[in-house]
């Protein structure tokens, strides 16, 4: 990971889960960091945990649904670090509800955080990234190329992100910009506990077995390696790769298997 040493990396959603793991693993590579989240106290705790005086680590309280705050984040990064080499759009939320029961405001909120947050941050950083011939990264999901029942809002936001980044990649393909769509599988984090239900309240419980899911630190390393290698697309685990390839050749078979699996979840919003 020597190629990341001295790089200036902005990470959104850095206070927990994959974002926190990315922050810690990137610091081990010797990268300077700008950590963004609504939870400034958790960002400061991560900064203290890293505790490396050789690195510049800036914590910026940021709500990615606010365009001005996203612009401020990138401005501070440029002012303090002199450039932005890598932007990792990691901030995101999930939801879990049947489509006929979910409040439209829930779908709008998920899209606002996941998709528009990525748009606002990427748009604010693009000039700096073009100058540095840097990396623009989206932490998407396997759900970004294969939807999941009960996660209509989440899947829609990830599909939108994938389309956005494919378009950006082609638009700037001759200007040195690296664009990565990272698609982790199920990862142990707080995203399922904080997933929104049909009325917008937090789910508070995970419908999956968190102990069998990928570790956030392993996913973070996979993403950083993909950035190092300037890959266009990345799947982090065996499950995601199976879904990707089976969907190409046997989509209906895969959909039946997914439906059956989701219907067996505790308190599933999907009828078997």
Q: What is the dihedral angle through the alpha carbons of 130, 168, 236, 222, rounded to the nearest 10 degrees?
A: 0
- Name the active-site residue from 27, 37, 135, 140: 140
Annotation marks residue 120 as catalytic: no
- Residue 158 near residue 166, CB atoms below 8 Å: no
User: How many C-beta neighbours within 10 Å does residue 199 have?
Assistant: 11
Q: What distance in Å separates the CA atoms of residue 20 and residue 7, rounded to the nearest whole number?
A: 18
Q: What distance in Å separates the CA atoms of residue 188 and residue 165, rounded to the nearest whole number?
A: 25
User: How many C-beta neighbours within 10 Å does residue 209 have?
Assistant: 9
- Name the active-site residue from 7, 47, 146, 158: 158
Annotation marks residue 193 as catalytic: no
Both tokens assigned to 54: 């050789």
Annotation marks residue 189 as catalytic: no
Q: What distance in Å separates the CA atoms of residue 187 and residue 185, rounded to the nearest whole number?
A: 6
Report the DSSP beta bridge partners of residue 11.
35, 88
User: How many C-beta neighbours within 10 Å does residue 244 have?
Assistant: 16
- Name the active-site residue from 27, 154, 156, 188: 154
| Residues designated catalytic | 140, 154, 158
């Amino acid at each position: 990971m020597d190629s990341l040493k001295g790089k200036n990396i902005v990470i959104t959603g850095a206070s927990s889960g994959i974002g926190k793991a990315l922050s810690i693993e990137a610091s081990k590579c010797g990268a300077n960091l700008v950590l963004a989240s609504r939870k400034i106290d958790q960002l400061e705790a991560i900064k203290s945990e890293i505790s490396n005086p050789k690195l510049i680590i800036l914590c910026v309280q940021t709500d990615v649904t606010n365009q001005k705050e996203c612009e401020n984040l990138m401005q501070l990064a440029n002012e303090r670090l002199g450039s932005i080499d890598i932007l990792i759009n990691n901030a995101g939320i999930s939801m879990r509800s049947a489509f006929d029961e979910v409040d439209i405001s829930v779908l709008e909120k998920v899209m606002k955080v996941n998709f528009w947050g990525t748009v606002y941050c990427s748009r604010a950083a693009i000039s700096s990234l073009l100058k540095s011939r840097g990396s623009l990264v989206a932490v998407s999901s396997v759900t970004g190329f294969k939807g999941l029942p009960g996660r209509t809002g989440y899947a829609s936001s990830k599909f939108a992100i994938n389309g956005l980044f494919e378009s950006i990649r082609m638009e700037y393909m001759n200007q040195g910009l690296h664009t990565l769509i990272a698609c982790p599988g199920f990862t142990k984090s707080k995203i399922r506990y904080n997933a929104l239900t049909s009325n917008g309240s937090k789910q508070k419980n995970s419908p999956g077995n968190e102990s069998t899911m990928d570790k956030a630190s392993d996913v973070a390393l996979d993403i950083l390696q993909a950035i190092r290698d300037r890959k266009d697309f990345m799947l982090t685990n065996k499950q995601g790769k199976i879904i990707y390839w089976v969907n190409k050749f046997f989509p209906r078979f895969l959909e039946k298997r997914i439906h059956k699996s989701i219907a067996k979840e505790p308190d599933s919003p999907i009828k078997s």
